[in-house]
Amino acid sequence: MCGIVGYCGKEHCANLLIEGLKKLEYRGYDSAGIALEENNKIVVVKAVGQVKNLENLIKKSDKKAVLGIAHTRWATHGKPSLQNSHPHTDCSGDIALVHNGIIENFLELKKELLKRGHKFKSETDTEVIAHLLEEEYKKGKDFFTAFQKVTRKLKGAFAIAALNSKEPGVMVAAKKQSPLVAGITNKGFFLASDIPAFLKHTNKAIFFEDGDTVKITPKSIEIYNADFRKITRKVHTISWDISAAEKGGFKHFMIKEIFDEPQAVKDTLQTLPPDITKAFSLPLKEAKKIEGVYIVACGTAYHAALVARYIIEHFAKIPVEVEMASEFKYRPIHFKKNWLFIAVSQSGETADTLAALKNAKADGLKVLSICNVVGSAIVRESDYSVFTHCGPEISVASTKAFTCQLTVLYALALQLAYVQGAITKAEFEDLYQELLTLPELLKQTLKLENEVKKIAAKVYKSPSFVFIGRNASFPLALEGALKLKEISYEHAEGFAAGEIKHGPIAIIDKDVPVVALAPKSDLYEKMLSSCQEVAARGAKIIIITNTSVKNALDVPYTNEYLFPLVAATVLQFYAYHIANFLGREIDKPRNLAKSVTVE
């Protein structure tokens, strides 16, 4: 979704802002723009398409500005075009602003503004904010007070940054339900939708909360809460390594991030406290009382939750309900007392997951979040949080976050199993030891890349792709299909292997490659029967197993519940190489945004 970068300080900022926008490209966008304040004048430059188009249009003379805002737009209201791209200005051109989110009452606001003579240049919801600011500022208030008043009139979600040439050296901002974070350097302040935009310059960050309004000058940052009371917010130190936000010699972020997995899992495991009764910040007393678990998430994180259902039910013997966050709110669920609610999210900003979490909290459930971003909205709303330590995940298609989410969920399952008496201490220790070998197992699995690439070379022109699995590997089949369709744009579906004979087998023929996930387990023979069923219809079968059978992709041996954590890498390679053979834009697939901040 849209990306915002702002700078107010002592440094020439045009290049800083462009660099910041490039770091946010992963969010998905179709146009970009910048507003620079210099000599009491605001210069706005916009371009359709890539940030580099915008970069080429910025004049040398404008590069000396020390205050500016920039934006990448992912079209919601109005097509991708110069007129609709941000920054938007008021009638006089003195005020410029960028916005991420949706102003739900923009139509009624626009109608009134038009009646009062304002001229609109775009079809966007955002432009109303510029005209409202113009009116409020004319009433004689200072720019920041006028801005605060305007934010009161807006319904919906927004992160906004604005400038006014009549008050040079001031940048104002507001946040409600869309992410906004400030970066603090000794030469000034950054504003951004996400940390990678300024990580090269500072790891000191302030995450704003819903309702916050902010006034920034080169020397100061003032934050006001929803009641316009001046407050301070915690300065977080971000532990991400800058190189984690670079491609590091790889062709795409996605393949680099697959290769990051052993380290990311290691870092994640190392940060889980060794005292198992505190591993999830849940007091032991509470953990013992848990009678069941709700897990809510979207997309890939939802698939991690589905795998976790099998793992938790198997080890802890307590029921688990998993729901897509986007559907969760439509079910009149009567939450069961003593159930734990878990939200899983890489970004910590997914609007659907956040909304579901707020519902659960309002109904009195304790909320645990599993997130990758410290200080994100979901973390702030949760009672307890556990972090995946993946570093920034830049590729839109999630890879290392999935494996790390599963790592945390697997550890949680073991902990719940132990504190609830479903497994003994000795069993816990054996299973936990096996989990601790995961980084090494992943390193071994990475060696399969070439083999997977050869298979991808043979099948990439297929009209359709199928994935099958049973038990904990069934949701992995769903994830394999999602990964492939996201980045290849080809049709792909995942099925429970036992279900194909009930209908889906109709789509199988000699042109459809079928990936079968077949770990060693009591269900192995059944998986082979499913393979026979599709083979009899002529399908090419690609078996991913840990049984050392011939002509299969053989990953290191683990118990069947740890298998999805290892085999995910193979499916990610498969999707990556098919998309690469098809020449797709892998890191920024069409129509997709990394952080989905609207419901």
> Per the structure block, which two tokens stand in for 456?
């991808």
Is 59 assigned a catalytic role?
A: no
Integer Cα distance of 4 and 192 in angstroms: 5
153 Ramachandran zone, left/alpha/beta (phi>0; psi -120 to 50): alpha
475 binds ligand F6R (CB under 6 A): no
Q: How far is the CB of 71 from ligand F6R (least distance, A)?
A: 21
409 binds ligand F6R (CB under 6 A): no
Choose one: 221-229, 339-347, 434-442, 528-536; the region binding ligand F6R (CB under 6 A). Answer: 339-347
SS3 485: helix
579 binds ligand F6R (CB under 6 A): no
Pairing between strand 464-469 and 491-496? parallel
408 binds ligand F6R (CB under 6 A): no
Cβ of 129: how many Cβ atoms within 10 Å? 28
> Per the structure block, which two tokens stand in for 206?
């302030």
Cβ of 588: how many Cβ atoms within 10 Å? 22
346 binds ligand F6R (CB under 6 A): yes
Q: Which is nearer to ligand F6R, 124 or 595 (CB)?
A: 595
Q: Which is nearer to ligand F6R, 272 or 397 (CB)?
A: 397
Q: Which is nearer to ligand F6R, 165 or 347 (CB)?
A: 347
Rg (C-alpha) for the chain, rounded Å, is 25
Q: Which is nearer to ligand F6R, 410 or 418 (CB)?
A: 410
Q: Which residues pair with 163 in a beta bridge?
A: 96
486 binds ligand F6R (CB under 6 A): yes
Integer Cα distance of 551 and 544 in angstroms: 10
458 Ramachandran zone, left/alpha/beta (phi>0; psi -120 to 50): alpha
299 binds ligand F6R (CB under 6 A): yes
350 binds ligand F6R (CB under 6 A): yes
Integer Cα distance of 321 and 313 in angstroms: 10
Cβ proximity of 37 and 68 under 8 Å: yes
Q: Which is nearer to ligand F6R, 27 or 201 (CB)?
A: 27
What residue type is assigned to position 49 of the chain?
Answer: G
- The residue from 151, 213, 398, 580 that contacts ligand F6R (CB under 6 A) is 398
- The residue from 301, 408, 484, 578 that contacts ligand F6R (CB under 6 A) is 301
- Residues within window 532-571 making contact with ligand F6R, judged by CB under 6 A: none
Pairing between strand 366-371 and 339-345? parallel
Cβ proximity of 74 and 590 under 8 Å: no
Is 2 assigned a catalytic role?
A: yes
- The residue from 298, 416, 456, 562 that contacts ligand F6R (CB under 6 A) is 298
388 binds ligand F6R (CB under 6 A): no
353 binds ligand F6R (CB under 6 A): yes
376 binds ligand F6R (CB under 6 A): no
Q: Which residues pair with 47 in a beta bridge?
A: 32
Q: Which is nearer to ligand F6R, 31 or 398 (CB)?
A: 398
User: x/- contact string, 428-467, with ligand F6R (CB under 6 A)?
Assistant: ----------------------------------------
Q: How far is the CB of 259 from ligand F6R (least distance, A)?
A: 17
> Per the structure block, which two tokens stand in for 437?
């070998």
Element (H, E) at 547: none
Cβ proximity of 307 and 519 under 8 Å: no
- Residues within window 120-139 making contact with ligand F6R, judged by CB under 6 A: none
Number of residues that bind ligand F6R (CB under 6 A): 14
> Per the structure block, which two tokens stand in for 409?
């969920």
Choose one: 193-201, 228-236, 255-263, 292-300; the region binding ligand F6R (CB under 6 A). Answer: 292-300
- The residue from 72, 268, 326, 347 that contacts ligand F6R (CB under 6 A) is 347
- The residue from 345, 382, 415, 530 that contacts ligand F6R (CB under 6 A) is 345
Pairing between strand 292-297 and 320-324? parallel
Cβ of 274: how many Cβ atoms within 10 Å? 8
Q: How far is the CB of 278 from ligand F6R (least distance, A)?
A: 25
Cβ proximity of 275 and 284 under 8 Å: no
Cβ proximity of 567 and 319 under 8 Å: no
Q: How far is the CB of 356 from ligand F6R (least distance, A)?
A: 11
What residue type is assigned to position 520 of the chain?
Answer: K
Choose one: 99-107, 267-275, 298-306, 497-505; the region binding ligand F6R (CB under 6 A). Answer: 298-306
Q: How far is the CB of 175 from ligand F6R (least distance, A)?
A: 18
Q: Where are the beta strands (DSSP E) in 208-355?
A: 212-216, 221-224, 230-231, 236-237, 292-297, 320-324, 339-345
What residue type is assigned to position 165 of the chain?
Answer: S
Closest residue to bound ligand F6R by CB: 299
Q: Which is nearer to ligand F6R, 213 or 268 (CB)?
A: 268
- Residues within window 204-233 making contact with ligand F6R, judged by CB under 6 A: none
Q: Which is nearer to ligand F6R, 396 or 539 (CB)?
A: 396
300 binds ligand F6R (CB under 6 A): yes
Cβ proximity of 415 and 443 under 8 Å: no
397 binds ligand F6R (CB under 6 A): yes
Best CA proximity match to 176, nearest among 198, 151, 197 = 151
What residue type is assigned to position 530 of the chain?
Answer: S
Q: Considering the candidates 22, 149, 485, 594, report the single residue annotated as catalytic.
A: 594
Q: Considering the candidates 2, 298, 404, 531, report the single residue annotated as catalytic.
A: 2
Q: Which is nearer to ligand F6R, 197 or 534 (CB)?
A: 197
Integer Cα distance of 420 and 288 in angstroms: 5
Integer Cα distance of 154 and 530 in angstroms: 55
> Which residues of this chain interact with ligand F6R, rule CB under 6 A?
298-301, 345-347, 350, 353, 397-398, 486, 595-596
Instruction: List active site positions.
Output: 2, 594
